Amino acid sequence: MKRLYPYLTGGITEDWTDYLLAYQEAGADAIEIGLPFSDPMLDGTTIQQASDRALRRGTTVDAILADLAAVRDRISVPLFAMTYANLVFRDGPEVFCRRLAEAGVSGLIVPDVPVDEADGLSAAAEAAGVDLVLLAAPVTPPERLAEIAARSRGFVYAVSVLGTTGERDELAGTAAPLAARIKAVTDLPVLIGFGISRPEHATAAARAGDGVVVASALMRRVLDGATPGELLDDVAALRAAVDQADQEVPADHAHAEVSGDRG
Amino acid sequence: MKRLYPYLTGGITEDWTDYLLAYQEAGADAIEIGLPFSDPMLDGTTIQQASDRALRRGTTVDAILADLAAVRDRISVPLFAMTYANLVFRDGPEVFCRRLAEAGVSGLIVPDVPVDEADGLSAAAEAAGVDLVLLAAPVTPPERLAEIAARSRGFVYAVSVLGTTGERDELAGTAAPLAARIKAVTDLPVLIGFGISRPEHATAAARAGDGVVVASALMRRVLDGATPGELLDDVAALRAAVDQADQEVPADHAHAEVSGDRG
Amino acid sequence: MTVLESMAPPTGGRFGDFGGRYVPESLVPACAALETAFREAWADATFHERLAELRSVYAGRPTALTPATTLSADLGITLMLKREDLAHTGSHKINNVLGQALLAQRMGKTRLIAETGAGQHGVATATAAALFGMRATIYMGERDMARQRLNVFRMELLGAEVIPVTAGSRTLKDATNEAMRGWVAAVEEAHFCLGSAAGPHPYPWLVRQFQRVIGEEARAQAAVQPDVVVACVGGGSNAAGTFAGFVDTRARLVGVEAAGGAAMTHGRPGIVHGYRSMLLQDEQGQILEAESISAGLDYPGIGPEHAHLGALGRAEYVTVTDDEAVAALGRLARAEGIICALESAHAVAWVLRAAGTPELPAGSTVLLTLSGRGDKDMATLAGVTE
Amino acid sequence: MTVLESMAPPTGGRFGDFGGRYVPESLVPACAALETAFREAWADATFHERLAELRSVYAGRPTALTPATTLSADLGITLMLKREDLAHTGSHKINNVLGQALLAQRMGKTRLIAETGAGQHGVATATAAALFGMRATIYMGERDMARQRLNVFRMELLGAEVIPVTAGSRTLKDATNEAMRGWVAAVEEAHFCLGSAAGPHPYPWLVRQFQRVIGEEARAQAAVQPDVVVACVGGGSNAAGTFAGFVDTRARLVGVEAAGGAAMTHGRPGIVHGYRSMLLQDEQGQILEAESISAGLDYPGIGPEHAHLGALGRAEYVTVTDDEAVAALGRLARAEGIICALESAHAVAWVLRAAGTPELPAGSTVLLTLSGRGDKDMATLAGVTE
Ligand SMILES: Cc1ncc(COP(=O)(O)O)c(C=O)c1O
Ligand SMILES: Cc1ncc(COP(=O)(O)O)c(C=O)c1O
């Protein structure tokens, strides 16, 4: 089964956890929760705006984790926190990971902590029972890719494109080859993220890997005022698109199709 | 008899020669006529404005001389032209001096042609029968003063002050000592000019020298729209003030009085 | 680690507890390639020759060391000014940029990306790009663009594209984020020409190496070796370059921060823009906006080497207010006929304040780096003084 | 008179038929005293040492000689740029002003009076006054003050009094008249720090002697001796200083005037501001207002030495329009990363236009003096290009 991991910026609205429930209801396999940071280096305009809005609302990591704890018993899918190094190292990675675990968050993605800087965090995450997900990029060289895959937990995040998060007209031609390279060196699921903006991108990406992460396309809707109910429909459409990849062709063919975008 | 040489900017109004006639009627011993130049380096604001206005009216040296020729038979006092080097050297000093003579102008004052630069001009003036008046300043050293006095014709112009033309509240303390120094080396009349703004200045200066040149104080009135009749009264008042110097005390005493201003 | 070691190529990109390479995976190979290229270049005599040639025939180096005669007499000290204001483009930023552009060319890059605050680094980058026939893309906060219109125009005249950054405080911090995002998207063709001794490894080291010419020249020029060496600190490049010339002497090293951007004095350790150092941040770990009249010091972080030198006690960090800096700029202008940048005026202000106190005893010999000239700040100052 | 003699101290203040001392009697003793003081100083090794020291530790000399690599390749010539833009305060004007301030100090003067057009000479004078602890009074046309606001602010910051001149065209010509009037009134305490190789004797000679460091440095720096030496000409000081280094060589000397201020090309002999030279004037002998986008070239006269060199055929004088100068400034910026002053851009524009034509054949080696940097002109340019 191909996976769908939709993203939500924590604390974006007062009742932000309603979106989580809607995502779950629409068929999310797991949910990524952004812990907003003032300087989200790897994020494009949409996630920057979402982070800004959440912070201007007065959101904090504590508040988000408290909100999560409150809905914890209604959420059955795994939750991954996505945030930046400064928040993780603020009180030390041990404290941070323990608090995640206590709030029911089982994974962590920190885009500005590459594998070389991950030692302390890896250990802390492991000790707290949190999966530290590492990211791989199209420019990652083979040996390094192997190391990332080996040290990643939960899944490997394939950054589809040389660029920030944000919607794009086409799925990057770099997505499928990267997914293939990662799959060649690991048995962990490989999720493709960055720029999955339309159901057809989701289908194509899910074909190439084991599933997709969708962030900006959903957050733009939330920023525009769409309700949890409306988001449920969006996620459901993505779910259908991802599922389509399951019903089709071998990976080889899918690969060729996706990389066709390159020309 | 102490002398009064009032000044008028040529071409300042359409009927500017009416002022000449008024000056004469009021008792001027001679009249200085400014031939306006665009860059009157030694003139203060009043004469600058008068020159500007005359030039903006379209005045030229030719036009001024033609106007003069037209009233020539009604003017019996000597006329001195006062202007700057560029107008004098424009077509060569010979041509320039001849034209002055033809228009009935018998003297020439060029403040930016000091004695060191005067050779050619002196010769040309002499040939045309025009008196080239040289100027002496408070800072002129003795030997140089003797040379200036020796080479000046008509009179010696004593520049009363280190400064430009323009009205001042008091007659400069430098005026009388300079006049005395010049008189000691020449038999030519010594006229004091620059900053003779009020009748009492005129009296004091006339005491120290052989008479006064009055320019800015009169031109300010003309610029303010005073009529030839009004200027007649102004010049008459100066005439009276100058004449007062005649009725008095020996030169020695006058000198002491004026230089008293210094302290 | 001893102080001297701390000035050597950092192992694993660390200065003590600070530094590192906290960047997205997309940038790791580029940073690594840059490090390799820099190590090779730095070991290559031809590279040094070309750099030396550019510095002297193009950038106006060596810059003068000027005795501040009047101020020295007034203050009872011996004050020498290292005149980076005389360098081409008007500040020390050109030293770094010429080095990086040479390196970028060596690496086959065709484009330079840079962030800028005061615009001095942007102008320097645009200049080097023009000189090397490269494209330049300069990210600049909208607020800084308004404060430094002259420099925006200069960059455009030099053929650079200036991209207004509207996120966050719309100043240097946000421009840096956006430049790094721009680099992520163009990492194969573009070199990120970072403007201070900050950012991910190898930048803090590499930038300091390109700036050490300041300190080395000054040391060779000074007739008397200084007791105290002073420089203003934004990201910390002019200070790092100056200190590098004196770290192995007994001279006290003093870095002067803007009171509103004083990462050393008011910050705590944290990670931003790819490196770990002292940072202005709130209780939650959100980065704070700095507030300084001088765009070049309006930055919440500081280069990791400074955090390390501070932790070791080898360098001291002090702060100066906007008002003190403005007054110092005027006093230097009237006393010595030198209009320095508002950034540099912070260093001057500390000397004015400290001279004759135990902080800077009478009789001291002081070397102060004037990091740049003040032309760019005239509009700001006119606003303040009118 | 041979050309070489024409470069020696002029007899009676004449360069051939030009020059002289056409000033009010009140100024004659001051001019004479200045001449004497200058002759003495120039013969005094201590004076030269002090001047050399100031030039190097304060003003950033020697300035670089930069090969314009890209333009040279594009134009098929070898173009070298003498970088007066790197001198302290941003132009060659500082060379003259440091010399005159030293001289004024030697003469016991306590105040400097100056005229300024672009403001560069005013800034330089205010700078020297600050450095020497003298008062400075700067006369500047109101129109130039509006065009060069940055420089007005710089002068005031340096402690100078800037007096707006509202007479005539409200530009340099009128400021010069007013400065001379101001000098007449303060001749005992004040030195008139004239800004170009114009004015009454000994100024044209004295200013050229203080500026010859440009040409002499360039000659020593150039690996290949130039076939052609080019500089822009306002009053003519940077050109005179440049030419002085090459007048005894076979190099062609080319002075570039602004088309709207081309005294050599469109003027006739005349007398203004104390000297006889080529002048823009009407049929009646009234001085015309020059019209140039560059305030420093917006002057109807030219130094008498140029009139003489032109009459002898030793130097050529050509003109460049505002549009050509603006385009040249941009092209130099994009090709070499140097934003020069609009004045200097006139010299660049001539090279761009002439290169590859019989006027400046391919293969020529050209030395061009970049008289100043362009910061002061950004507002003007923004107005033109927007
Ligand atoms: C003139 C000047 N000085 C100092 C700085 C601060 O930078 P750093 O601390 O890297 O020297 C800047 C930054 O723009 C600057 O323009
Ligand atoms: C940069 C620059 N170049 C040239 C000139 C023209 O003066 P000169 O012809 O005396 O060199 C000026 C005058 O202000 C100037 O500022």
B125-143 pLDDT per residue, tens: 999 999 999 999 999 999 9
Angle, vertex CA C371, rays to CA C274 and CA C31, nearest 5 = 25
The three-state DSSP-derived secondary structure of D5-49 is: HHCCCCHHHEECCEECCCCCHHHHHHHHHHHHHHHHHHCCHHHHH
Q: Does ligand 2 come within 6 angstroms of the Cβ of D96? A: no
> D180 to chain B, minimum CA–CA distance in Å?
7
**Chain D residues near residue C336 by CB distance under 8 angstroms:** 130-131
Beta carbons of A44 and C281 less than 8 Å apart: no
* ipTM computed for the complex: 0.93
**Residue-range definition of the domain harbouring residue B239:** 3-134+202-247
Q: Is C173 known to be catalytic?
A: no
Structure tokens at A84: 């930046």
Structure tokens at D331: 């092209």
pLDDT in tens, chain D (386 residues): 455 444 556 677 999 999 999 999 999 999 999 999 999 999 999 999 999 999 999 999 999 999 999 999 999 999 999 999 999 999 999 999 999 999 999 999 999 999 999 899 999 999 999 999 999 999 999 999 988 888 999 999 999 999 999 988 888 999 999 999 999 999 999 999 999 999 999 999 999 999 999 999 999 999 999 999 999 999 999 999 999 999 999 999 999 999 999 999 999 999 999 999 999 999 999 999 999 999 899 999 999 999 999 999 999 999 999 999 999 999 999 999 999 999 999 999 999 999 999 999 999 999 999 999 999 999 899 887 65
Q: What was the pLDDT predicted at B247?
A: 82
A29, A43, A131, A234: the active-site residue: A43
Count CB atoms within 10 A of the CB of residue C53: 11
Q: Is B258 a domain residue?
A: no
Helix A175-185 and helix A199-208, axial crossing angle in degrees, nearest 10: 30
Distance C373 CA to ligand 2 centre (A): 21
Q: Which atom of ligand 2 is nearest to the CA of D84?
A: 1
Distance C376 CA to ligand 1 centre (A): 12
Distance D184 CA to ligand 2 centre (A): 25
Rounded Cα–Cα distance for residues B104 and B184 (Å): 32
Distance D117 CA to ligand 2 centre (A): 9
Angle, vertex CA A215, rays to CA A86 and CA A24, nearest 5 = 105
Residue type, A179: A
Q: Does ligand 2 come within 6 angstroms of the Cβ of D238? A: yes
Backbone angles phi, psi at B67, to 5 degrees: -60, -40
Q: Is A168 a domain residue?
A: no
Structure confidence by residue, pLDDT tens digits, C213-263:
999 999 999 999 999 999 999 999 999 999 999 999 999 999 999 999 999
- For residues C57 and D65, the answer to whether their CB atoms sit within 8 Å is yes
Q: Is B242 a domain residue?
A: yes
Q: Is B176 a domain residue?
A: no
Rounded Cα–Cα distance for residues C146 and C153 (Å): 11
Considering only CA atoms, which of B79, B80, B17, B83 is closest in space to residue B51?
B83
Choosing among C82, C138, C375, which should be mutated to test the D contact, i.e. which has the most D CBs within 10 A?
Answer: C375
Structure tokens at D118: 């672009």
pLDDT above 70 as % of chain A: 94
C179 touches chain A (CB under 8 A): no
Q: Is B192 a domain residue?
A: no
Shortest CA distance from D169: residue in chain B: B38
Strand partners, D275: D272
Residue with tokens 């690969």: A255
Count CB atoms within 10 A of the CB of residue D153: 23
Choosing among A112, A119, A181, which should be mutated to test the C contact, i.e. which has the most C CBs within 10 A?
Answer: A112
Q: What is the DSSP letter of D357?
A: B
Q: What are the Cα distances from residue D149, in Å, to A37, C341, D120, D152, D155? A: 43, 18, 12, 5, 10
Q: Does ligand 2 come within 6 angstroms of the Cβ of D121? A: yes
For chain D, the straight-line distance linking the first and the last C-alpha, in angstroms and rounded, comes to 51
Beta carbons of C337 and D150 less than 8 Å apart: no
Ligand nearest to the CA of C239: 1
Choosing among C50, C54, C71, C88, which should be mutated to test the D contact, i.e. which has the most D CBs within 10 A?
Answer: C88
Distance D227 CA to ligand 2 centre (A): 23
Residue closest via CA to ligand 1's atom 13 equals C296
**Chain A residues near residue C186 by CB distance under 8 angstroms:** 162
- For residues B165 and B215, the answer to whether their CB atoms sit within 8 Å is yes
Beta carbons of D279 and B86 less than 8 Å apart: yes
Buried b (16+ CB within 10 A) or exposed e, A196-218: bbbbebbbbbbbbbbbbbbbbbb
- The CATH number that applies at residue B68 is 3.20.20.70
The three-state DSSP-derived secondary structure of C125-191 is: HHHHHHHHCCEEEEEEEHHHHHHCHHHHHHHHHCCCEEEEECCCCCCHHHHHHHHHHHHHHCCCCEE
Structure tokens at B106: 């018998």
Beta carbons of D286 and B55 less than 8 Å apart: yes
Residue B115: CA count within 13 A, CB half-sphere = 24
In three-state secondary structure terms, C236 is: coil
3-state helix, strand, coil in chain C (%, to 5): 50, 20, 30
Ligand nearest to the CA of D176: 2
pLDDT in tens, chain B (263 residues): 899 999 999 999 999 999 999 999 999 999 999 999 999 999 999 999 999 999 999 999 999 999 999 999 999 999 999 999 999 999 999 999 999 999 999 999 999 999 999 999 999 999 999 999 999 999 999 999 999 999 999 999 999 999 999 999 999 999 999 999 999 999 999 999 999 999 999 999 999 999 999 999 999 999 999 999 999 999 999 999 999 998 865 544 444 444 333 33
Q: What was the pLDDT predicted at C383?
A: 85
Distance D261 CA to ligand 2 centre (A): 13
Structure tokens at A229: 């109910």
Residue type, C75: L
Q: What are the Cα distances from residue D120, in Å, to C64, D59, D144, D343? A: 21, 14, 11, 11
Beta carbons of B139 and D281 less than 8 Å apart: no
Residue with tokens 């006139």: D346
Q: Do chains D and B touch (3 or more CB pairs under 8 A)?
A: yes
Q: What's this model's pTM, rounded to 2 decimal places?
A: 0.95
Q: Is A170 a domain residue?
A: no
Overall domain count for chain A = 1
Residues contacting A225, CB < 8 A, separation 6+: none
Choosing among C65, C74, C86, which should be mutated to test the D contact, i.e. which has the most D CBs within 10 A?
Answer: C86
Q: Is B43 known to be catalytic?
A: yes
Beta carbons of C66 and D57 less than 8 Å apart: yes
Q: What was the pLDDT predicted at A256?
A: 41
Count CB atoms within 10 A of the CB of residue A45: 16
Strand partners, D228: D252, D366
Residue closest via CA to ligand 1's atom 15 equals C296
> A207 to chain C, minimum CA–CA distance in Å?
23
Strand partners, B186: none
Shortest CA distance from B36: residue in chain D: D286
**Chain D residues near residue B140 by CB distance under 8 angstroms:** 25, 28-29
In three-state secondary structure terms, B2 is: coil
Neighbours of chain C (3+ CB pairs under 8 A): A, D
Beta carbons of C66 and D86 less than 8 Å apart: no
DSSP codes of every residue in A117-160: G-HHHHHHHHHHT-EEEEEE-TT--HHHHHHHHHH--S-EEEE-
Rounded Cα–Cα distance for residues D208 and D241 (Å): 5
Distance C93 CA to ligand 1 centre (A): 7
Count CB atoms within 10 A of the CB of residue D251: 20
D168 touches chain B (CB under 8 A): yes
B43, B131, B167, B210: the active-site residue: B43
Rounded Cα–Cα distance for residues D252 and D267 (Å): 22
**Chain B residues near residue D188 by CB distance under 8 angstroms:** 139, 162
Range 334-363 of D in CB contact (< 8 A) with C = 334-339
Q: What is the DSSP letter of A163?
A: S
> B113 to chain D, minimum CA–CA distance in Å?
5
Q: Which atom of ligand 2 is nearest to the CA of D234?
A: 9
- For residues D209 and B187, the answer to whether their CB atoms sit within 8 Å is no
Structure tokens at C8: 């050597």
Q: Is A100 a domain residue?
A: yes
Residue closest via CA to ligand 2's atom 13 equals D296
Q: Is A211 a domain residue?
A: yes
Neighbours of chain A (3+ CB pairs under 8 A): C
- CB nearest to C29's CB, from A44, A85, A139: A139
D135 touches chain C (CB under 8 A): no
Beta carbons of A39 and C272 less than 8 Å apart: yes
Residue ranges and CATH numbers for the domains of chain D are 3-54+93-202 (3.40.50.1100), 61-91+212-383 (3.40.50.1100)
Q: Is C82 known to be catalytic?
A: no
Q: Does ligand 2 come within 6 angstroms of the Cβ of D258? A: no
